[in-house]
Amino acid sequence: MRASTYRTVRTRPAERAFDPLGDWADVGTPTPPDTVTMSVMPAPPTSAGPTEVVDLLIVGAGPAGCAAALRALQLRPDASVVLLDAADFPRDKACGDGIAPHGLDVLRALGVPDAVAGYAPVDRMRLRTPGGAEVATPCPRANHVVPRKVFDARLVAAARARGALLLRARVRSVLGGGHPGEAVVVNGDLRARVVVGADGANSTTRRALGIGPNPPGALAIAVRGYADAPRADRPPEQLIDMTDEGWPAYAWSFPIGDGRANIGYGMLRSKLTALYGGAGGRTVLHATLARMLPDQPAHPGTLRAHHLPLSTWRPRQPDGPVLLAGDAASLINPLTGEGIYYALLSGSLAGEAAVTALPARAGAAYRDALERELGRHLRHTALLAGLAGRRRTLMDSAVRAARHRTELYDNLLEIGLGRGTIPTGSLARLAARRLVAGRR
């Protein structure tokens, strides 16, 4: 890739960010404990004409995109890998900031052992249901809470250190790749043998494949902010507080370890529309968050909304040289909204397929790998989400039982944060419930 200049990108006090509720708002960016500075090469102008064909072009430099770059270069250090993103890094990203241990396993396998360095582990989680059930128990493996502004910048730095080229540009078109040997063309002049679309919930790459967005019933919307962490007279814990209002819905509070907590509230887009109509989604989400976490008012300027395309409507990965990873592939856990582990794992698998399979077979190879790694888990989370969505008492019963059965609590966390599956005996009973419910 040719470019004549480099530009230094530094943290800004505020940026303009798209709000899925419908307009633009100033967004305060939390100050991370460490400042990251990086040089970003601007993408060649579209008038420059055709460029060389790179081995792998990745749209989006978040966790999924960086994992794809890291895995591709781990397997083929001589591969030409380009990360393309519209944002400067570091940049804020609306998210719960929770990093499950399963995601760190993926990063360690990719040769990135220090992505959460400097952030204390949080080894307790409190689950609270609308029916009054509550459990707070040490997790079998600790989680971390790292602002995406820091976490993503560290992953970008790791990918660049391994040899990936970071270009800044907004992707507007993805064309070609429909015939063997044909390059995929991005923005008219960036050409690649394989493209990985890791460009989030509003993926341009996904639309280019002719795949529409998730329907409202499989699309969550959440608002995230930063607030003072709860009082320090008890061990830090992650809180998930579920509510009947718009069920399935919950508020969260995740302590970062620097005196702040990531707070938020989310629900299905379909429920928001059905319950409140034109009342104003922003007002509803902000008011519900304030009501559910009255002792943790959001810091001014930190509330941002974002969409979460749930895996219950995951599209089939097409054959060919254009792959979808992370949110772009609707890889969001429908029970918890967790997506960083899925992003890292799917990105890694996509990066592997991109450099080990023929371009025409990359999509099929990636699809098979994803099925091996997550297929059964995704089917089980879809089953549980469907049952829990129709019968809130199922979640009450599960949390009450988890208070007395450690193995059940651990399994709930594995299903919600990792790739756990339902035990065989429980699966048979749940399948019977689903059959009965379907006949009503």
Confidence of residue 46 (pLDDT cuts 50, 70, 90): very low
Q: Please give the Cα distance from 28 to 10 (Å, whole number).
A: 15
The pLDDT of residue 16 is: 31
* Per-residue pLDDT at 99: 98
The pLDDT value given to residue 44: 46
Write the DSSP string, 365-395.
HHHHHHHHHHHHHHHHHHHHHHHHHH-HHHH
Q: What are phi and psi of 315, to 5 degrees?
A: -75, 155
CA distances 68 to 57, 83, 235, 306, 316, Å, are 10, 9, 36, 23, 19
Q: How confident is the model at residue 233 (pLDDT cuts 50, 70, 90)?
A: confident
> Would the pLDDT of 2 be above 60?
no
β-pairing, 190-197 vs 322-324, is: parallel
Q: What is the pLDDT of residue 29?
A: 32
Backbone angles phi, psi at 177, to 5 degrees: 80, 10
Tell me the pLDDT tens digit for each residue of 161-177. Answer: 999 999 999 999 999 87
For residue 231, name the pLDDT band (cuts at 50, 70, 90). Answer: confident
pLDDT band at 181, cuts 50/70/90?
A: confident
Higher-scoring residue by pLDDT: 216, 23: 216
- Give the three-state DSSP class for 262: strand
pLDDT value at residue 23: 28
Task: Read off the amino acid at residue 355.
Answer: V
Task: Report the share of the chain in percent with pLDDT over 90.
Answer: 74
For residues 159 and 195, give the distance between their C-alpha atoms in angstroms, rounded to a whole number: 16
pLDDT in tens, 237-284: 999 999 998 999 999 999 999 999 999 999 999 999 998 886 678 899
Q: What is the DSSP string of 65-104?
A: HHHHHHHHHHH-TT--EEEEESS-SS----S--EE-HHHH
* pLDDT at position 432: 52
To the nearest whole percent, how much of the chain has pLDDT over 70?
A: 84
The SS3 assignment for 267 reads strand
Longest dimension (CA), the chain: 66
Stretch 420-427: mean pLDDT, rounded? 80
Beta-carbon-side half-sphere exposure of residue 225 (alpha carbons within 13 Å): 24
Q: pLDDT digit string (tens) for 348-384? A: 999 999 999 999 999 999 999 999 999 999 999 999 9
- pTM equals 0.87
